[in-house]
Amino acid sequence: MSKIAIVTDSTVTMPDDILRQYPIFVAPCILIWGEETYRDGIDIKPAEFYTRLKTARIMPTTSQVPPNLLQELYSHLAAEGYEILSIFISDQLSGTMQSGVQAKAMVPNARIELFDSKATSMAMGFQVLAAARAAAQGASLEECIAAAEKARELSGVLFVVDTLEFLHRMGRIGGGARFLGTALDFKPILELKEGRVEAVERVRSKRKAYSRLLDLVERRIAGRTPVRVAVLHANAEEDGRALLDEAARRFQAVESILTELSPVIGANAGPGTVGLAYLAGM
């Protein structure tokens, strides 16, 4: 039986207690703040990041996982006898897939497959989990890729942002640009579609936006079961927990996860962001 490791990047924002259950290895993206450079989730944690962001005069920027970090991880895993499936953030949001291509070429004797999640955070995380759970059941590398492909088809994520300022500044706004200039009391609902941020609706007030978010996810689930949900938040745990409780109840979820967005994702989405990722029918 093959030993299969799943490699992903730190934008997955998967809780540590889940990561520890499987051979899932997380490569950190990079946060650049003035003259300082941090490995996402390692050198800087969400609590520290959001606290510092409140009074920052210089805004942070972000960068993909460096190829050399992936090379080191691939070499280590290959030496341990693993075949490797790398599931990364959408190549339309980050250059991490390209880093994976470069790193793979540096470790020619390893069996490494690269997979574009066309997503991030727990929309990618459900793909990672699908592959890891398949591997735990003895699946081949090809079967793990098939599991990730199925999860990619059946999953998605919608989110509500406090402001479009961060996405716009980082150049990640995509189709959400048509909501620029929205009045402050309107909250944009956005969605990742085919790897890009797209605008869905503008809703007056955050409370109504969360309610509408649930309606939109229900439409996308389209009656498929079982349903797995994950709520991701950027320094908005109270809102996130309330949304998760409602989503789990409404969709009779067999798995529900609350997680905080990593500094790199938080720098792009902005504090106060709350999203709902789902996997339905798998």
Structure confidence by residue, pLDDT tens digits, 20-53: 999 999 999 999 999 999 999 999 998 898 888 8
Is the pLDDT at 167 greater than 90, yes or no? no
Q: How confident is the model at residue 171 (pLDDT cuts 50, 70, 90)?
A: very low
Report pLDDT for 200. 85
Q: Which residue has the higher pLDDT, 167 or 162?
A: 162
Q: Which residue type sits at 121?
A: S
Q: Which of 69-83, 136-150, 194-208, 250-264 is predicted least confidently?
A: 194-208
Q: How confident is the model at residue 205 (pLDDT cuts 50, 70, 90)?
A: confident
Q: Identify the helix (H) or strand (E) that includes residue 159.
A: strand 155-160
Domain residue spans of the chain: 3-152, 154-280
Looking at domain 3-152, which CATH architecture does it have? 3-Layer(aba) Sandwich (3.40)
* Across 194-216, average pLDDT: 88
pLDDT tens-digit map of 58-110: 888 999 999 999 999 999 999 999 999 999 999 999 999 999 999 999 999 99
Output the pTM of the full model.
0.91
Instruction: Check if CATH label 3.40.50.300 holds for domain 154-280.
Output: no
**Nearest 5°: phi and psi at 110?**
-95, 150
Report pLDDT for 176. 42
The residue ranges of DSSP E strands in 10-94, in sequence order, are 24-27, 30-33, 36-39, 61-63, 82-88
